[in-house]
Amino acid sequence: MRIRVMSWNMAGAKLLDKLAAPPDPVAAQYIAAYGEVWRTGIRQFLTVPGNQPEYPDVILLQECIGFEDHSPNPSGRWQTGSAILEGIFQGYRGFFFPSLSSRETPHPRKWEMYQRGCGVQNLLPDYVEGQQGYGICIRDPSQLRKLYIPYRDPTTAPSNADVPGGNAYHLCFERTAISTGAYLGTRDTEPRLAIRGRLFIDSGAGEGRYINFLNVHLTTLSGERTGKIRINRRAAATRSQQVELILDNIVSAYQETAEYRVPPVAEDRKEDVWLMGGDFNATPDTDEIATVKRAGFVDGTTDKRLTDAYGTQLNHQIGTKWSLDDTTRPAIVLDYIFCGLERIAFPSGRLDCADSRPPYRPRFPGQFADFQPDHAVMFCSFNI
C-alpha cells in the first residue's frame, strides 16, 4: 500500500503584520496567497505527467497562525487556525494546535508589535487571542482513529471501537510538550510540541494499516549556525534531548502499552506504520538525525536537491531552508519526513520511496510575494 505525506514550515507569526485590515476577514490575503500556491504550484509539482496530482493523505504543518475572538459577539473577522487551514487546503479537514498564544504566552517581546498594529490598525485588540502553532490536514477524516479505546482488554472491543463518532476527532490526537520553562519572547525559549495522530488507511486489497504520525518542530537558538561554538553545542544538545523524549516517551511508550489501545498486530492486518515529519532544525550530519535513523526510521527524501520555482541560484542546491535576507547564502537541510514500522526497523527492501519528491520552493505571485516562507515543501510517498 502507499502512504503519502507532506510537511511544510509556513513561516508563522512573521506574517502577522501582513494580514488584512478591517473590515475584511483578517487572514483573507494569507489564505488567498497560500491557497493560490497550493492549487497552482504545489499540486502541479506533485503531478507526474499523464497522471492526476498526488494528494497527500496527511499534511503536517509548522508555524501556522490562528485567532480566537473572545468578545461577547464575535464578528467572524478573526478566523481560527483550523478555518485558515481549511481555506488554504480546500477539501481537507484542518486541525490546529497552538503552542504560542498572546494570552497563554503573552510576553510583550513577541506580541507587543502586533498589538500596536505594526502597519495594520488594531491588529490584535484586547479581546482577540493571536496564536501560532502546528497544523494537521487530513484528506479523508473518516480514516482518523482514536488513540485509545474504552476497553482495558482490547481483544474484547468491537471492531469499530476506535472510530470517532460524530466530531470526536480530539480523541485522535495528543499534544506532548517537548520543552519547558518560562517563555521569554524569543525562539530560544519558544514552547515546542510533538503532535501525535492516528489513521487507518485501507488499500482496498486487504492490506489496511494503522498509521501513527508525529508533527514536530525542534528547537533552534538565536545565533546558531553562525560560527558560535557554544550556541551550536547547546542547540544540538537541546534537540538531542527532544529526540530522545520523542522516541522514548512517545513512540516507545505507545508501542509498549497494551491496555486501552488496539493491539499492535492483529491477524487481519500488518504492522502499524510510524511517520515523523517536520522542521527538525538539524542538518543530516548531526547526532539528532543519526539518533532517529538508529532507531530504525528511514528518511523518505533521498534526493535533497531543492527545486526552486523562481529559478534562482538556489535551484538544485542541497537544502530545504534558505535565507530571505541574504540571497548569496546557500540552502541547508533542516526538514525531513521519516518512516518506521511498529517494530521500527524495516526488513531489507520493504520500503519504497521512489515516488517521493525533492524539496520544493513554490513561487508566490507578485501580489503575494510578502508571504513567501523560507522553508521548502516536503513530500514523501511510501510504498510498503
Q: What is the CATH number of the domain that holds 290?
A: 3.60.10.10
Per residue of the chain (384 residues), give pLDDT as tens. 889 999 999 988 777 878 888 888 999 999 999 999 999 999 999 987 666 667 999 999 999 999 999 999 998 999 999 999 999 999 999 999 999 999 999 999 999 888 865 555 568 888 999 999 999 999 999 999 999 999 999 888 998 999 999 989 999 999 999 998 899 999 999 999 999 999 999 877 667 889 999 999 999 999 999 899 999 999 999 999 999 999 999 999 998 888 998 876 555 567 889 999 999 999 999 999 999 999 989 999 999 999 999 999 999 999 999 999 888 899 999 999 999 876 666 665 678 888 899 999 999 999 999 999 999 999 999 988
Domain of residue 60 covers 2-383
In sequence order, what are the beta bridge partners of 59?
A: 6, 137
* Residue-level pLDDT at 285: 96
Task: Report how far Cα 279 is from the mean position of its chain's Cα atoms.
Answer: 8
* Residue-level pLDDT at 155: 86
The number of folded domains in the chain is 1
* Residue-level pLDDT at 340: 87
With vertex at residue 76, the alpha carbon angle to CA 72 and CA 80, rounded to the nearest 5 degrees, is 100
Cell representation of residue 14: 512573521
Q: What share of the chain is helix, strand, coil (3-state, %, to 5)?
A: 25, 25, 50
Residue with cell 532507531: 295
The answer to whether the bond into 23 is cis (omega within 30° of 0) is yes
Beta strands 298-299; 173-177: pairing state? unpaired
Phi, psi of 75 (to 5 degrees): -85, -20
* Residue-level pLDDT at 51: 65
CA dihedral (274, 357, 98, 333) positive or negative: positive
* Residue-level pLDDT at 322: 96
Which residues, 6+ apart, have CB-to-CB distance to 342 below 8 Å?
255, 264, 265, 271, 272, 273, 274
Q: First CA to last CA across the chain, in angstroms?
A: 5
* Residue-level pLDDT at 204: 73
| pTM of the shown model | 0.95
Cell representation of residue 245: 523524549
With vertex at residue 181, the alpha carbon angle to CA 15 and CA 276, rounded to the nearest 5 degrees, is 60
Phi, psi of 367 (to 5 degrees): -70, -15
